[in-house]
Structure formats: C-alpha cells, structure tokens
A and B are shown apart, each in its own frame.
Chain A
Amino acid sequence: MVPMVEPLVHMRGISKAYPGVVALEDVSFALARGEVRALLGKNGAGKSTLVKILAGVERPDEGTILIDGKAVALRAPMDGIRAGIATVHQELSVVPELSIAENVFLGRWPTRGRRVDWRRMQREAHDALALLGLHLDPRQPVARLSVAERQLIEIARALSQGARLLILDEPTSSLVAQEAETLIRVVRQLAEQGTSIIYISHRMDEIRKVAHSVTIMRDGRHIATAPVADVSNREIVDMLLGSAQGEGGSTRIFGQPGKFTPLLTISDLRVAPRIENASLEIRAGEVLGIAGVLGSGRTELLQAIAGLRAAHGGSMTLAGRDFRPTSLREARANGIFMTPEDRRGEGAVMMLGIDENLVMASWGSVSRGGVIDRAAMRRKVTASIRSLGIKLAHPGEALGNLSGGNQQKVVIGKALNAAPRILLLDEPTRGVDIGAKRQIYQLMRDAAADGLAVVFVSGEIEEFCEVCDRVLILRGGCITGEVEGSAIRTETLADLTTGEHGVH
C-alpha cells in the first residue's frame, strides 16, 4: 500500500528549544511519496513545532532536513513553498470577498501584460477544483461557500503552487460528517496521485480511514511510528499519555440513578428554524448527553434553555414553576449557565488574566459595592485553580498563554463559580487533547456529584460513553431516542444519530 523507495522528506535529529522549554528533542521523521501520515500528540507534544519547521516558519536548532535526498535549508515560509510543502491551517486563510479563482491564485494571479488574465485564471481554477471533485463556478465569491468548501479551495491553492507535501492541521474539526467524508476521499485520492500528506487530528475513526501510518509524539520526542493497521486505539492512547496516565483507561463512574431529581422539564419545545418538537427532562445529579450531528439543533436547544434564543412554542418547567427565559440574565438568575462552543470567540477574554476570567461571571461574590475584595477573589481563584487542576506560572498570567485544554477548564471554572443549578456545556472538549478531555470529564462528574444538572453536547459520539448517565438523540429537530447507563455505546449512538438503522 505504501510505496517505499527514497522518502520525499527526511528530517534527521531535529531539536528546537524555546527559552525555558524544549519543544523538540532529537526527532527524526521520514515520509514517502504518496503516504498519508497521521501525526498525533497532546497539545504541547511538539507536533506543531515539527510541522512549522517543515513549512519554514520556525528554524531548528539542530538537525538536517532532506527533500528528495538533498539537504535543504528552510529559512522562511517561501522556502517551504518552493520546496513543495504547503500547510492548510485550522484558521482558514481565504479572502471571503474575493472570487474562488482569485483565492486559488491568491497573490499569483496570472497576467497578460500588466492585466490580470481573468479567463485563464478562471479556467485553471476550475480545473484545479475539478481535480478535487469540486464543481463550482470559479467566479462566485468564497463568502458563499461552506467551511468545507473553503478548505478544499485552500488545498487547491496549495496544489496549484506545486505542493508535493500537504500538512493538514485538524482539517475536520469544524466540518459536518458528510463534509469530513468528502475531505477524506480527497486526501486519499491525492495520496494515490503521489502527494504526501501529514494529517494532524485527534479523531481516531478518521485516522483509521485516511492514514497509512501514524507517528506519535510526546513531550517533544518521537515515541513511535507504525502502520495504522498494526496499532490499536488503546495502544495509541497509552503512547500519547505516557505511563503517568496510561492505566485506568476509561474510568467510567456513574452517578446513582436513585438520586437524580427532575429539575427542568421541557415539553414540545419549538425553536425555529431547527428544533421542531423537543421534549426532555434535565435532572440534578446527572450528566446528560445530547447527541446529534452538526446542524441538528443541539446548540440551539441549549441556547433556548440559557435564554439566548427565544422559543417559538412549547413550555419549560423549572423546579415546578413555569419557566420562559427571555434573556441571558433571567436564565442566570434561575441558576442556568451555558459555556459556548467557540472558546476563543465567545468563551473567554484571552488577553485578561486567568484569575479574572475565573470570576468574570461572578463578580458579585468577590466584591462589595462594586469594589473588588482582593482577598476574597484570591481565595476563590486559588480554590478554582486547585479543583480544576490547571498548571500555571502565575494566576495573573494572560489566559491566552495556556493550552486549549487548560483554557477550556478555565471557561468551565468560570461557569462553576457562577454557582449554577444547571450547567450547559456546548462542545467543551473540542480541540483539546486526550489528557485534558479526561480531566474535563472528571469535572463534569464532580459537578454532577455536587448536585448540579450537567448537560453535555458533543460532536464526537464516543465521548458520551466516557461520561454520561443518559444520552438523548436529537435528530431532524426532535428527540428521537434515549439511551441510559451501560447501553450507551458508540455503535448504538452512531446508528441512532445518523439513522443507519433508525427512522428515515
């Protein structure tokens, strides 16, 4: 399956240190033509430093890079592009107001004389996209395209620049299931045509579908490289986490069903345009999962409960009383708090301190007459940091300096400090590494054990098995199923959410 001759890229003995941290230590990495390599590692394991060195964004302190067997010096991103290496980032770099064709040839528009040769550009852009199975009018603006299509435009751009190695950094993190399928198909097709691909992702099912081989990194070191078929998920997780957290595995601790008490009852809720008719019960002491594909209305459901979105029909009863929140403030006053899925955009203020972010939603408890009680704030922040298990240099440090997983823990800590009765978590584990995911699961279990009702929305169904007491299936705007306790299994949920065997 993997054509093995002379590798396209060979990195040897790469080391890179930043002041105070060793990011890479004597890492070697080789990739054959047409090989798809999954690159795995927790945040901070060194995978992004490795691909940055390959792209010419960072320079190694030591080590050599061979391309086609010849040593090259990659000093700047242009060198990387010239050597045929292109990166497609998580944050897309397309200009929405420009046309598809202009984006494919961004900065390299074909010209005739001094004028842009529109016809040639459009023709070539069309051909470049057709190669990826995308048939779009190259004259329309990128703003009209979906995230998945924009990603393909970026890939088309990289290929038109003569890229022989594509680095895809979490390419499916914001895609719907079918879109992810399309992307995976494109990646495999490119590999067959001889393009090498480094595929960074946390999603095991995807990696199994797309990659030939997998490289695992931890603490700046190369741990293992093996054909995907030769290693089990279990082994991969153990290698990712190291010996410290390896054992224990999925420590699924349930709450005690006898102790769950109904808190919020929702009947026939309608939230235009996505929720048609949702009836459910949220119980104190329980972690409730809501499973549904992207666009199933799972975020809208949480927002309606949190007072961020008006319901168009149905009723809610909170602790026996009629509840119809018209504002975030009203929901807050009734003990409901929601953490948004977009951590950077909506969840926290990255340039403020960790301490301030932790008390941002509960200033009242650490101030008197609008003046901050610094001792009270310190106590609260210290207690939060301890219970969240955040590693930091100083509580006043900017939140943006923390890893994604720790940032997410701070966002959850902020919510917990607001002392809610119902905690709504919208994709709290998106983009965080496996170690941090487990800690976040533990935080949810702890909150439930303290008597909170925790509602957990996630796009990765295997997560529900780790943490939920009960999972509701949201499909076509309705709650179509409910799975409880040990019946919560990935296969069951996958069938129910995508409807393999369910209702059509």
Chain B
Amino acid sequence: MAPIQSESYQKFDLRHFLSGRANEIGLLVAILVLYAFLAAFASNFMTLPNQLNILRDAAFVGIIAWGMTLVLISGEIDISVGPHVAFAGVLLASLAQSGVPLAVAALIVIVLGALIGCFTGVLRAFLDVPSFIVTLALWLGLRGTAQVMSDAVPIVIMDFSFQRLGAGWFLGIPTPAVIMLILFAIFSFVATRTVFGRSVYAVGGNAEAARLSAIPVARVRILVFAITGALAALTGILMASRLGSGNSGAASGLEFDIIAAVVVGGTSLFGGRGTMLGTLLGVVFIAALVNGLVLMGVDPFAQGIVRGVVILVAVMVNIISIKRMRGRT
C-alpha cells in the first residue's frame, strides 16, 4: 500500500464500483438467463463433457477476441481475421509438407501473422487508410491466397502428436481453452496495468489529445493490429491441429463471431471503451448460444436468424443497462 493515500482513494464507493461494472453485471445476468433457458430446453447442455466442449469452441473465438478488443478500443476494426486463420492453417500445412519442422513452421506462421497485422497498422497510421478498407482487402486476399496455395483442397498434416494441441487435453481442460485463459490473464494485465494498454484507450478515446500528450499514436495503432494478426495466426495453427489439416475454407465467418463477442461484451465500436472481462463474458455467451442451438436441433439456416436476433437484443440490453446505471450516479 502507498504511504500517502487520498481519502477518496481509500473510501470504497459501491456506487462507483457498480457503475464502472454495469456492463459486466448485465452480461452475467444475460448469461445466467441463457444458461437457465438452455438447461431447460436443450438436452445434455448442462453435462460436463458438453461444457468442456463449449470451452474448446470458445477458444477459437476468444484468443483472437482479446486482440480484437484492443483493436476496437483503439477505434479501429479488423475484419480479416477469419481468412487469416484459414491462411495460417494452409501455410503451416504446406510448410510441414515441404519438410519444415512443425515448431519452426508455427513460428514462421506467427511472425508472418504479426507482420500482416503491421501492414494494416502502417497503412492506417501513416497513410490514413481506414482499417475497415485495408482489412477488407486482406479478407479477400488472404482467403484467395490460401485457396491458390492449396488448390482449395485440405492439406493433411501427418503428425498425430501435433493434433493434441488443438484436440487434446491439459489437466482435464481442452488445451486451446487453457491457452485462451492464459492469454486472457496476460491481456487483462496489459489492458489495465501497462502504459501500452492505457495508451490504447487514450488513442481510441481522443487520438489528438493522446498525440499532444506525447503518446506514440502510430506505434499504438500498428501494435494492436500486429498483436491481432499474431493471435489469428495462433488460432490458425490450433485449428489446423484440431482438423489435422490446413483448410482454405476454415473459419468462415469467424471474424463476425469475434466482433459480435467483443461488442456484446460492451466494447464500443467507436473506441475508447471496453474491458477484457466483458469480452470474456461475450465469448462465453456466443459459444454457449451456438452450442445450445445445435443441441436443440434448430435448423442450421434458422440458427443464423436466432443468433442475429439474440446478439442484437444482448447489445441493446447492455447499452440500456449501462445508460441506466450511469444516469443513477
């Protein structure tokens, strides 16, 4: 504890505490409601194997979602992550096929992923190209590259021990989920306790004020994209491991599941606002919803409709509850 403390810091203010967490509390309630509903109507939903399954699925959304949260807080967006995952998987598999050891190949894929993110960040930071446009171009280009590289045919990875990474278990928990949770702890720390993390909020909240405060705005912008690119590459490796192949058609639409999870988690699309805990809850919400709809036997086409409606309602309830709590203090 600090030797000098102000009265206002010492005093625990319940109202301040609650109003700062209105979003997370609202989400927790939403998740409880969703769980109660699915427990009642989706058979086998509440069994341990299924819950662990949800956790594994959540990892493929969650790992990238941590980086995406930073991207959105900084006032940007990255829609290229879905194709990036597919591209990373195909690149890994083809490197492995040509005899590169898997560990080296994985390292190359992750470094390249970070560089692709840097590319977006540099165009955004120095040439003022909107990140939506840059990542839209990447969205098309990366999927295309993956298809060209693989002739749109899955490239099998002939290493069964590698499959344990994406499909295996660690202390009874799916390995990808363990990786997701470790990264969650790291990103929570980065977002709240490091100068870089707080600079991301400052840049997203008011880039001009950040610049005049000598915060390296360009560096912050490049880094958030580089981090997200590396996380997309990591997810691509995990997915290739889970599938046992690099597949150019993998992770289709994943970018929107991720952005939905982050936004459901209370991060503002306009920047400056958001928390990792909110995103974690958003990821759990989306993963449980997708899983529950499958268990309930909802027609796959109708699932899209239900997901769309539920996400919209969740975000609306969230915004309203935040406004209410803020209004009260």
Using a CB–CB cutoff of 8 Å, the interface residues on chain A facing chain B are: 19, 308, 328-329, 332, 338, 340, 345-352, 356, 360-361, 363-364, 367, 370-372, 374-376, 378-379, 381-383, 385-386, 392-397, 414, 418
Contact = CB atoms under 8 A, between A and B. Distances in A.
Contact of A367 (B5, B6, B195): B195
Interface string B304-321: 000000000000000000
B97 interface: no
The 10 A-B pairs at the shortest CB distance, nearest first, are namely: A349-B205, A382-B6, A361-B213, A375-B2, A349-B206, A363-B195, A360-B213, A346-B208, A394-B16, A351-B272
Contacts of B3: 379
Interface string B1-15: 111111011000100
B190 to A, nearest CB: 9
Contacts of B212: 308, 328, 338, 340, 346-347
Interface of B: 1-6, 8-9, 13, 16, 20, 193-196, 198-199, 201-202, 205-206, 208-215, 272-273, 327-328
B267 to A, nearest CB: 12
Given A340-B212, A378-B9, A371 B205 contact: no
B13 A350 contact: no
B210 A360 contact: yes
Nearest to B189: A371
A348 B209 contact: yes
Nearest to A397: B16
Given A351-B205, A360-B202, A363-B195, A396 B20 contact: yes
B8 A395 contact: yes
A108 to B, nearest CB: 30
B195 A372 contact: yes
A372 B194 contact: yes
Interface centre among B205, B211, B213 (most CB of A within 10 A): B213
A502 B4 CA distance: 55
Nearest to B272: A351
Given A19-B328, A356-B202, A382 B213 contact: no
A131 B8 CA distance: 55
B226 to A, nearest CB: 16
Binding site secondary structure of chain B: helix
A360 B193 contact: no
A395 B9 contact: yes
A436 B4 CA distance: 27
Given A363-B198, A375-B2, A349 B210 contact: yes
Contact of A346 (B1, B209, B272, B328): B209
A340 to B, nearest CB: 6
B52 to A, nearest CB: 34
Nearest to B7: A382
Given A338-B212, A356-B201, A378-B2, 12 more contacts: A345-B206, A346-B208, A346-B212, A349-B209, A351-B272, A361-B213, A370-B196, A374-B193, A381-B6, A382-B9, A386-B6, A394-B16
B198 A372 contact: yes
Contacts of B205: 349-352
Contacts of A395: 6, 8-9
B211 A328 contact: yes
B8 A348 contact: no
Given A349-B206, A349-B272, A350-B206, A370 B214 contact: no
Contacts of A364: 195
Given A349-B210, A371-B193, A393 B1 contact: no
Contacts of A397: 16
10 contacts: A348-B209, A351-B205, A351-B272, A352-B202, A352-B205, A360-B202, A364-B195, A393-B13, A394-B16, A397-B16
Nearest to A372: B193
A229 B284 CA distance: 68
Nearest to B6: A382
A350 B206 CA distance: 8
A396 B211 contact: no
Contacts of B20: 396
A383 B206 CA distance: 25
Contacts of B214: 328-329, 332, 361, 418
Nearest to B208: A346
Contacts of B195: 363-364, 367, 370-372
Nearest to A415: B213
A455 B30 CA distance: 54
A346 B211 CA distance: 9
Contact of B209 (A308, A347, A383, A385): A347
A220 to B, nearest CB: 19
Contacts of B13: 393-394
Contacts of B4: 379, 382-383
Contact of B16 (A345, A378, A393, A418): A393
B275 to A, nearest CB: 13
Contacts of B272: 349, 351-352
Nearest to A19: B328
B230 to A, nearest CB: 18
A420 to B, nearest CB: 11
Interface centre among A350, A370, A392 (most CB of B within 10 A): A370
